Amino acid sequence: MTVIIGLEIHVQLNTATKLFCSCSTDYRDDPPNTHCCPVCLGLPGALPRLNRKAVEYGLKVAKALNMEVPEESEFARKNYFYPDLPKAFQITQYDKPLSIRGVLEIEDDEGHEKLVRITRAHLEEDPGRLVHKGGGDRARYSLVDYNRSGIPLLEIVTEPDLRSPQEARRFLGRLRATLEYLGVFDGDKEGSLRVDANISIKGYERVEVKNISSYKGVEKALTFEVTRQRNLIRRGQPVTVRETRHFQEGRGVTTASRSKEEEHDYRYFPEPDLRPLSVAGWVEEIELPELPVARKNRFVEQYGISLNHARTLTGDLKIAEFFEKIASVDPVLAATWTADTLLGELNYRSMSIAAVPPGHFAGLLKLLKEDTITDKAAVQVLRTMLDSCAAGNECEQPAAIVEREGLARATGVDFAAIVRTVIAGNPQAVEDYRAGKKGALNFLVGQVMRETRGRADPRELGELVAACIETTEG
Amino acid sequence: MAGTLSFAPDDRCNAFITTCDAAPYGDGKLSGVAVAVKDNISTCGIQTTCGSRILAGYVPPYDAHVVSLLRGEGAAIVGKTNMDEFGMGTTTETSGYGPTLNPVDQTRVPGGSSGGSAAAVAAGLVPMALGTDTGGSIRCPAAFCGIVGLKPTYGRVSRYGLVAYANSLEQIGPMARSVGEVSRLMEVISSYDSRDSTSFDRPYTHQPSADIESLRIGLPQEYFGEGVDPRVAETVRSAIGRLEDLGAETVPCAIPSMAYALAAYYVICTSEASSNLARFDGVRYGPPAPTQKQWHEAFQEVRGEHFGKEVRRRIMLGTFALSAGYYGKYYGKAQVARRNVRQDFERVLGEVDVIAGPTMPTVAFRLGEKSDPLSMYLSDILTVPANLAGVPAISVPCGTVDGLPVGLQLIGRHFAEEQIIDAAYAYEQEGSA
């Protein structure tokens, strides 16, 4: 059963001011309704004035996604009642969007390159936000916060080219990276990305899943929906025609919407308060920065790192930039330690790479490169360092951690004596090793490592232990 | 010299919804001049109702651009004038605050929708006022009350702060007893405002001149034909004859697209209105929505109860015209008709300098006379075309029929207010003598 997925992605463009007024977009840490004016409050008589920067950002995206920019585009009103929509219509674009017909390259489930077609990308304003005091259905009333009202959104619509929830997630990851490389989007901001997904099993009805607000959520919601639809089909039950379902992030399920609320006739018509846009000529002038695919290829070429590492490191602008700051120590070592160790440790702590000073991490790499510490000790130093960063204190320097914890690779320690003690104390393991069980050697090395607190190189220790057993009478 | 103007008008015609008994003023071109402002133009700190009960108690936290300009030139904003609810009417009878009476004959309507502004000027309560004109709402009451009113070129005056009825058609404009006063007020309000994206930086700075030697005046047959009271047509013809005496030349012409103008106008204005007025839902303005109900029921209840009949009618018409499946049939067609009207005007105004005709097909109606909405809509036939075409038009008093004022309408090219003001001035100064 082939899965068919198309996405509608709303991203907040990170302009300094809103789409139609000069209110600041930097509202997230501020009290409700403090970033508002007559325009974004929809007060009677206020008029929209288009933010030039938002158009420029939209065109940047259009160019990066190889889209066409028609000679003329136009804003339109989408009319519907909802308490978070101050004018009872949203200024958006309808039949004359800013850009049409583009592509974005991703890797499919087999790791092959695949082009996902983009139908259109258009500008629109974000509505306000409802706050249900007491939470959800139990709230006796709702409060409205208009700080978000008028934030510029770019709605990007794909063709139904995606074939699995995993592919959908990879597409979003690549799109996010592209937008961040362009400098038009900050994916770390809460609510800066919202997705509606159309999903069907080939030959059956399609369902729209709304209200997905994270990358992980997309995969989760779509996986749930694939299972749900497959089960219906297997049981011979119909998939409801053009159903709209809502994703419940907390429970990881989709639920049917009350159909009445979704039956809209938006009565689109051209926004009479704005003039049509003729910006096709502007696209020529726009210069694009290096984008993820180009950067990935450059990393492989310039630094001699593996394609896999290059892919991981360029998948996020901040990580790519971090890597470039520390690559000079030793590109391969830096790639390995960033991609294989650092990202995992950050993920475990829900930390952003922004919290790690590149100089500190480079210091750690230097200690490794100079053989001052072992790999094992390095992981320990890294963890201690990240914990200090996360605590909001000044990040501790790796060298200082090594010093304080006594983690430097041991010199002048009589390893041979420790090895002999361990061999003498574990006759069974020695017996097993002699009988051909390689695992027994690792056990013995582990015992020695414990005694030396990780300050010796495990490979060298292995050789030492093996040699020692050879020379010891059996 | 800055100060405070005390204002306690004997408002027996119900021209005002709100008056300011102590109106501050400053220095400038209009220092200390009492100016009345139509109640759909936002005034910071002064209630702005648009003649609707749904906006009762709404006090804007900001000034419309034109109001800032008035204050900047020292004018005293003395009150907010009555109007048809949201501008939807031709008589000022659809106001939620009672009808305004015509100061010339109190059994008659003052015209609309800027009837309060016209009556305030005609009754001598203020020397000048602001009105707004979507399909004739400045010119009609000016004609009915015997004063001068100018609808500027679309885009020459900022609409920022004007509570929208039909955005693509309406303009704020000056109303006064004389062409000179209208010109003076126009100069103040036409200063550019980048907040209105549909406005142009074409400030008006003109001293009216009565020299109309060799001015070419087009007389469209449609303005003197069916539906126009012959006595009104005759009064206007003789006024145009006086302009000929002063050196103007008249040319017969035709605007065939006028046959569709009224239908196009009502489709466009009701469509835009249905969207503009959707925000009045009892949450932020006016009487509060009942909170114990679901929000959509609460919205419905407030809107059903506090919008007047004519407003509800136009919202429903506009909602229908924009509905899926009907858009092309109504809104789309109306836009085509609108382009045709515009092209007709541009063609004719390529051959003549100004177009002249009556402002209204009749004199002021009796109160309650136009109870049938369709017959009221039909009376807009001569004013609506200028709004569709976006060209400027002025109404200047040119005599009476049965003692009731008749208005001469002069329509000019885009941004050629100067020319129609001169023609109106010439008639006012020399012609009516």
CATH number of the structural domain spanning residue B175: 3.90.1300.10
User: Could A89 and B278 be called an inter-chain contact, meaning their C-beta atoms sit closer than 8 Å?
Assistant: yes
User: Could B48 and A269 be called an inter-chain contact, meaning their C-beta atoms sit closer than 8 Å?
Assistant: no
Q: Is B326 on the interface with A (CB under 8 A)?
A: no
User: Cα–Cα distance between B119 and B102 in angstroms, integer?
Assistant: 6
Span A274-296, mean pLDDT?
94
Span A64-76, mean pLDDT?
97
Mean pLDDT for back-to-back runs of 10 residues, chain B (433 residues) = 94 98 97 98 98 96 98 98 98 98 98 97 98 98 98 98 98 98 98 97 97 96 93 97 96 96 97 97 82 83 93 97 92 97 97 98 95 89 98 98 98 98 95 62
pTM, two decimals, is: 0.90
Structure tokens at A88: 């009872």
Q: How far is A326 from chain B (nearest CA, A)?
A: 48
Domain ranges of chain A: 3-285, 292-405, 412-471
User: Could A50 and B197 be called an inter-chain contact, meaning their C-beta atoms sit closer than 8 Å?
Assistant: yes
In the prediction, which pLDDT does A290 show?
A: 95
Does the pLDDT at position A260 exceed 60? no
In the prediction, which pLDDT does A134 show?
A: 66
Q: Do the domain assignments include residue B236?
A: yes
Higher pLDDT, A214 or B238: B238
User: Cα–Cα distance between A333 and A286 in angstroms, integer?
Assistant: 37
Share the mean pLDDT of chain A. Answer: 90
Closest CA to B270 of B303, B300, B306, B313: B313
Q: What is the DSSP letter of B123?
A: T
| Segments forming the whole domain that contains residue B83 | 1-252+356-375+392-433
Between helices A307-314 and A292-303, what is the axis angle to 10°? 140
User: Could B198 and A273 be called an inter-chain contact, meaning their C-beta atoms sit closer than 8 Å?
Assistant: yes
Q: Do the domain assignments include residue B122?
A: yes
Beta strands in B266-359 (DSSP E): 354-358
What is the helix, strand, coil percentage profile of chain B, to 5? Answer: 35, 20, 45
In the prediction, which pLDDT does A436 show?
A: 82
Closest CA to B346 of B380, B299, B388, B290: B388
What number is the ipTM of this complex? Answer: 0.96
Does the pLDDT at position A238 exceed 90? no
B329 noted as active-site residue: no
- The one-letter code for the residue type at B153 is T
Q: Do the domain assignments include residue B409?
A: yes
> Cβ(A374)–Cβ(A415) under 8 Å?
no
Does the pLDDT at position A133 exceed 80? no
User: Could B162 and A49 be called an inter-chain contact, meaning their C-beta atoms sit closer than 8 Å?
Assistant: no
Does the pLDDT at position A473 exceed 70? no
pLDDT tens digits for range A370-414: 888 888 888 988 999 998 888 777 888 898 888 888 777 766 567
Interface test with A, best of B276, B281, B300, B338 (most A CBs within 10 A): B276
> Which residues of chain B lie closer than 8 angstroms to A273, CB-CB?
164, 167, 196-198
Of 3.40.50.720, 2.60.40.1120, 1.10.10.410, 2.60.40.10, the CATH number of A412-471 is: 1.10.10.410
User: Cα–Cα distance between B61 and B45 in angstroms, integer?
Assistant: 6
How much of chain A exceeds pLDDT 70, in percent? 96
Among B42, B50, B275, the residue with its CB nearest the CB of A77 is B275
> Which residues of chain A lie closer than 8 angstroms to B388, CB-CB?
none
Question: Which residue among B42, B52, B137, B379 is the active-site one?
Answer: B137
Q: Is A30 on the interface with B (CB under 8 A)?
A: no
Most confident of A104-108, A463-467, B387-391: B387-391
Q: What is the DSSP letter of B251?
A: E
In the prediction, which pLDDT does A138 show?
A: 65
pLDDT tens digits for range A431-451: 888 888 878 888 888 888 877
Going by C-beta distance under 8 Å and a sequence separation of 6 or more, which residues neighbour residue B158? B64, B65, B66, B172, B192, B193, B195, B196, B199
User: Edge-to-edge strands of the sheet including B76-81?
Assistant: B16-19, B76-81, B34-38, B128-133, B171-176, B148-151, B393-401, B404-411, B354-358, B216-220, B249-253
> Which residues of chain A lie closer than 8 angstroms to B197, CB-CB?
47-50, 273-275
In the prediction, which pLDDT does A424 show?
A: 83
In the prediction, which pLDDT does A68 show?
A: 97
Q: How many domains does chain B have?
A: 1
Question: Which residue among B42, B52, B113, B191 is the active-site one?
Answer: B113
Q: How far is B195 from chain A (nearest CA, A)?
A: 6
Does the pLDDT at position A458 exceed 90? no
> Cβ(B151)–Cβ(B403) under 8 Å?
no
Q: Is A143 on the interface with B (CB under 8 A)?
A: no
> Cβ(B129)–Cβ(B175) under 8 Å?
yes
User: Could B299 and A81 be called an inter-chain contact, meaning their C-beta atoms sit closer than 8 Å?
Assistant: yes
In the prediction, which pLDDT does A434 show?
A: 84
Most confident of A242-246, A289-293, A387-391: A289-293
Q: How confident is the model at residue A420 (pLDDT cuts 50, 70, 90)?
A: confident
In the prediction, which pLDDT does A231 show?
A: 93
Q: How many beta-carbon contacts under 8 Å exist across A and B?
A: 96
Q: Do the domain assignments include residue B288?
A: no
Does the pLDDT at position A352 exceed 90? no
In the prediction, which pLDDT does A107 show?
A: 86
Among A49, A89, A265, the residue with its CB nearest the CB of B194 is A49
Does the pLDDT at position A263 exceed 90? no
